[in-house]
Structure 1
Amino acid sequence: MSASQHPIQLQGVNLETIAQEFGSPVYVYDGDKIVSQIKSLQSAFATVPLKIKYATKALSNINILKLVKKAGEGVDAVSIEEIMICMKAGFTAGEIMYTPSGVNFREVEEAVALGVIVNLDSIPLMEEFGAMYGNTVAACIRINPHIMAGGNAKISVGHIQSKFGISIQQLPEIIEVVKNFDIKIKGLHIHTGSDILDAEIFLRGGNVLFEAAMNFPDLAFLDFGGGFKVAYKSGDPATDIAEVGAKVSAAFNEFCEKYGRKLELWLEPGKFLVSESGYLIVEANVVKKTPQITFVGVDSGLNHLIRPMMYDAFHDVYNLSNPEGDQKPYNVVGYICETDTLAKDRMLASVTKGDFLVFKNAGAYGFSMSSNYNSRLRPAEVLVWEGKAQLIREREIFEDLIRHQVILDI
């Protein structure tokens, strides 16, 4: 048996055993991995006052958020509902950054009422915020640094045509709005994208922040966003966190000397914290041979894991039930009435109906982007923590699909 074929265990718990106990499809998360990822960032940025704000959108189960809270870090939320979930998990308002994009101002008012930090990402929002609150509520400004970065166009968000943030070319206008409404600015923020390998990208973004920051004398923090790349298959490059931490921290400390006092450095990792912790276990419904391809149809699809279809994302797949079988080529496909190829041209240990397969690196943007498309049910979620597999979300049932439908007498 090759190393890659050994039964996958999390803290001594076999994944196939989890599937047998909780059924499939099921998302499984390794709590230890999430904590170790947090610790690696804390270590890499040990020379600066670091605050991690976990990107809740990556995986918002309350129990995952509680692990982040337990590690002493905060969260970034992009909706009022995420704010409320974070508070349910135990975060205080001061530990939550709220970064909306194009929301109704009523949602911003709700966020302010809850006491969280609001990240302003447009001139109109700044003006409305300033007119409402003046200098009575401190805020952050999201700047678009015009840096093209990220592994896929859909996750590159800091370039000149992106909807996110306020163009750095509009800095004079930003300053004018702040002055006109006397807005209290406590932080500046950028986020260039995801899957960023090169420390130089973070440094380029940092230089944009450093230059802009000199126009705001009362800052408490600079937020570098996230976007660290994780490896999705053997041989894949990943961000050298130690190198990024060393270079960015050195530049940040040098800036703070120039600024005249020490600020906090904020990061907003999402995928980096939870991606490698997650596994999606599915069952083979059918093995279908054609003259050219052998398909494995499974009890899941783009309704549970949309990343392969949306981002052309690669997820390693293994046969949990027959890890020592002869290697054969397969296309693993879903049960959705769309072309939902989850894995194409993969060599897997021989698959038969009823085998459990597992998709790795499924912790980030897996369950959180799931849906009820085709009126399918969303899967259960299980957390392995302190050597024990525990259910953290029940599998949906049919009644969940129609719970909020108003059925007329037609």
Structure 2
Amino acid sequence: MFEVKRKEIMQVQGLELTDIAEEFGTPLFVYDGEKIVQQINKLKNGFSGAPTRIKYAVKALTNVSILKLMKSQGIGVDAVSIEEIKLCMHAGYEPSEIMYTPNCVGFDEIKEAVELGAMINLDNLPMLEKFGQAYGGKVPVAIRINPRIMAGGNSKISVGHIHSKFGIPTSQLPEVIQIAEKYGMVINGLHVHTGSDILDAEVFLRGANVLFQEAPKFPDLKFIDFGGGFKIAYREDDPSTDMERVGREVTAAFNEFCKSYGHQLELWLEPGKFLVSEAGTLLVETNVVKETPEIAFVGVNSGLNHLIRPMFYDAYHEVINISGQSKEKKPYNVVGYICETDTLAADRKLEEVKEGDILAFKNAGAYSFSMASNYNSRLRPAEVLVWKGKANLIRKKEEFADLLKNQVILDI
């Protein structure tokens, strides 16, 4: 059993991770395209009880090749910036397939999104007023509602509560209706998103019930968007969202609502992490094993500049020494090469680590490369997509020239 599990961990579609690391170098992000397709199908099957559209939350991982893979599977996209809209269009998406949900942006960016043809989803009254003044009823708009629900695995990723900057509180919906009537606006969708790492159907149903209560006030709806936030497993014994149960209960409630509303609407979802997190692995090389009387440190050629989630969210990423040869394990703190506290994994039992060993960080597909930086003037790594049994380079490793290309150097 140990050898079977170890083999699964060390391979992607039959390719050895150590071979991929040798071919492309480290640090390196590796994505399993088949795993992404499996997650898409799991979501489709779970919500098959209603006419459902899946909109991938692009911010999780924006590589154009990943976006093209999503499109090939019939998945739309949810963008939160004008640049994400353009990346999606570069990947071949029609503007009508892109939902744009900005937060605290200038109205010029919203106007540009309209000009590009993206669908618009607004979450505050001032921008709704400006939108009505500019477009009246010529451009439909969706509304993001704040359901006043505290949900999610971490306060930093809970976005539907009373102190969150996201969404229009239900108490302000009469003003939304006033603005819409004033300018003859067409509100074609309602949207809610409570947070990330949500396990139970009950949380989604609470958000759904908020929308169901408010939806009759909006006669032109085409869809209701339940957002995303499905939980994935970070540890071997971690629970994850029971997609079959959540899909069954949410679609049943949705269909019942549609009967009272008067016609069938579309059910929209916006998963990000759920689709790509488990598909991603960050491969790093051990620079040094530093033994102290208290603890052993494994220093690797990466850090919070490539994987900020452990320091930012206290996120857990399973770590495996894929170069290890022994079943015996020792406790280590895996740390980065950044001049900052960048503990990537604390007190982990790993097969004895030696200089040059390759470590694999699991669940590195979402909010990993997309949040990477050049802190300490370090370079961002390459990305590889394993697709149909072949490892494909989809982003080159940065070079020193990339650090200088946008600098204007004075003659001092």
TM-score range, shorter chain: over 0.9
Q: Which runs of structure 2 are paired with 1:79-228 in the superposition (5 Å)?
A: 79-228=81-230
TM-superposed deviation, 1:177: 1.2
Range that drifts further, 320-329 or 68-77: 320-329
Q: Deviation string for 1:259-297 (max 9, x for gaps)?
A: 110110000000000000000000000000000010000
3-state SS, counterpart of residue 83 of structure 1 = helix
1:120 alignment partner AA: L
1:247 alignment partner AA: E
* Equivalent residue pairs, number: 410
Conservation of the 8 A alpha-carbon contact between 1:324 and 1:349: yes
In the aligned structure 2, how far is the partner of 1:182 from the partner of 1:282?
56
Structure 2: tracts of 5 or more residues without a match:
none
* Equivalent residue number for residue 374 of structure 2: 372
Match for 1:62 among 50, 61, 64?
A: 64
Conservation of the 8 A alpha-carbon contact between 1:198 and 1:239: yes
1:189 alignment partner AA: H
TM-superposed deviation, 1:47: 1.4
TM-superposed deviation, 1:326: 2.1
In the aligned structure 1, how far is the partner of 2:75 from the partner of 2:355?
44
* Equivalent residue number for residue 74 of structure 1: 76
3-state SS, counterpart of residue 276 of structure 1 = coil
1:395 alignment partner AA: K
Percent of pairs with identical residues: 65
* Equivalent residue number for residue 279 of structure 1: 281
3-state SS, counterpart of residue 32 of structure 1 = helix
2:321 alignment partner AA: N
2:338 alignment partner AA: I
Match for 2:35 among 14, 33, 36?
A: 33
In the aligned structure 1, how far is the partner of 2:336 from the partner of 2:21?
18
TM-superposed deviation, 1:129: 0.5
Q: Which runs of structure 2 are paired with 1:226-305 in the superposition (5 Å)?
A: 226-305=228-307
Off by >4 Å, runs of 4+ in structure 1: 1-4
* Equivalent residue number for residue 327 of structure 1: 329
In the aligned structure 1, how far is the partner of 2:159 from the partner of 2:3?
40
TM-superposed deviation, 1:323: 4.5
3-state SS, counterpart of residue 278 of structure 2 = helix
Match for 1:51 among 50, 53, 56?
A: 53
Structure 1: tracts of 5 or more residues without a match:
none
In the aligned structure 2, how far is the partner of 1:194 from the partner of 1:168?
21
TM-superposed deviation, 1:73: 1.3
* Equivalent residue number for residue 381 of structure 1: 383
Q: What TM-score, normalized by structure 2, do the two folds share?
A: 0.98
2:363 alignment partner AA: N
In the aligned structure 2, how far is the partner of 1:169 from the partner of 1:161?
14
Conservation of the 8 A alpha-carbon contact between 1:271 and 1:364: yes
3-state SS, counterpart of residue 22 of structure 2 = helix
Range that drifts further, 322-331 or 14-23: 322-331
Range that drifts further, 1-10 or 39-48: 1-10
Q: Deviation string for 1:355-407 (max 9, x for gaps)?
A: 00000000000000000000000000000000000000000000001110000
- Cα RMSD, aligned residues only: 0.8
1:5 alignment partner AA: R
Q: What TM-score, normalized by structure 1, do the two folds share?
A: 0.99
Conservation of the 8 A alpha-carbon contact between 1:87 and 1:93: yes
TM-superposed deviation, 1:171: 1.4
3-state SS, counterpart of residue 401 of structure 1 = helix
Task: Give yes or no for the alignment of 1:356 onto 2:358.
Answer: yes
3-state SS, counterpart of residue 214 of structure 1 = helix
TM-superposed deviation, 1:172: 1.1
In the aligned structure 1, how far is the partner of 2:354 from the partner of 2:4?
22
In the aligned structure 1, how far is the partner of 2:156 from the partner of 2:141?
28
TM-superposed deviation, 1:166: 0.4
